[in-house]
Amino acid sequence: MLAASLALALPWVCASSYAQAQRPRPASAQAGTTRAATTAPPTARAQQPFDLTGYWVSLVTQNWRYRMVVPQRGDYAGIPINSKGKEFADDWQPAADIAAGKQCEAYGAPDLMQVPERLHISWQGDQTLRVQTDAGMQTRLLHFAPPGVAPGSASLQGDSRAHWQLFTLANTFGAPVQVPHAQRYGSLVVITDHLLPGLLRKNGVPYGADTKMTEYWKVQALGSDQWLMISSEVDDPEYLADPYVYDSIFQKQADGSKWNPSACSLSS
């Protein structure tokens, strides 16, 4: 009897299941699917593992005599300058460049973070970080642009493409762990090119138009103090024999009360 009952019931169950599968989905369910498929990826601002905004001041903890005082002609220590670069620097005449209005050529992106200065960092929308300096009154725009976006024309600060290098945790079995926003960690990677030629040092050490710079930005906190650390690598096939690598450190300031804009100078 049981087998017979099952045999009679089976066609009805299959037909009922088929009818439910073919029944139109509620409009709300379809809308939910559409919304999920078209949800925009999180913005750069939403993904930030640390807050860069605010005011920062340089801590000159290394290369003091090259950063605080204009070095003498021929003093190229610390920069892997090649023979062509040395010839350029030996022949360089600051008076001629000043007369030509090139006072800011030592404030281009490849050396700007080494200038003793204060930074003011803010978001320009959700996909661009704006970095302003009081020394030389320069502005860098770090674009979190998707691949394929056409770069701008060559300029003193060049074209900077940024992305967050985020680190995630994993549980014992290797599966990713959801990390609260406040506990995210990582670094900011910035690649800059499309630069106008400029100077790596105010005694004439040059960099060329094919220069490319890669930076790693990281914020560390200890109690109420915060430090911004930037590791930079400058590659120039024209004037450098090897990559020029340096580190810059900035301390977070409470406000902008000490912000002191000053013009570019090749003599101080």
pLDDT by 10s per residue, the chain, length 268: 434 444 444 444 444 444 444 455 555 555 555 554 567 889 999 999 999 999 999 999 888 989 999 999 999 999 999 999 999 999 999 999 999 999 999 999 999 999 999 999 999 999 999 999 999 999 999 999 776 566 778 999 999 999 999 986 655 565 655 555 545 689 999 999 999 999 999 999 999 999 999 999 999 998 899 999 999 999 999 999 999 999 999 999 999 999 999 999 999 9
Are residues 33 and 102 both part of a single domain? no
Angle at CA 124, nearest 5°, toward 119 and 125? Answer: 150
In angstroms, what CA-CA distances link 84 with 97, 107, 170?
19, 22, 50
Domain count, the chain: 2
Are residues 142 and 27 both part of a single domain? no
Look at residue 267 and tell me if it is in a domain: no
Predicted local confidence at residue 39, as pLDDT:
79
Distance, CA of 177 to CA of 169 (rounded, Å): 5
Are residues 106 and 210 both part of a single domain? yes
Question: Residue 203 in contact with residue 227, Cβ under 8 Å?
Answer: no
Are residues 128 and 161 both part of a single domain? yes
Look at residue 268 and tell me if it is in a domain: no
Look at residue 30 and tell me if it is in a domain: yes
State the Cα torsion 128-130-131-133 to the nearest 10°. 160
Look at residue 244 and tell me if it is in a domain: yes
Look at residue 206 and tell me if it is in a domain: yes
Classify 16 in phi/psi space as left (phi over 0), alpha (psi -120 to 50) or beta: alpha
Are residues 73 and 15 both part of a single domain? no
Look at residue 260 and tell me if it is in a domain: no
Helical spans, DSSP H, in the chain: 2-22, 27-38, 44-47, 64-67, 83-91, 94-99, 109-112
Distance, CA of 141 to CA of 121 (rounded, Å): 10
Are residues 226 and 146 both part of a single domain? yes
Which three-class secondary structure state does DSSP give residue 168? coil
Look at residue 140 and tell me if it is in a domain: yes
Look at residue 149 and tell me if it is in a domain: yes
Are residues 122 and 145 both part of a single domain? yes
Are residues 146 and 30 both part of a single domain? no
Are residues 208 and 152 both part of a single domain? yes
Are residues 137 and 245 both part of a single domain? yes
Q: What is the pTM of this model?
A: 0.81
Q: In which domain, by residue range, is 129 found?
A: 44-253
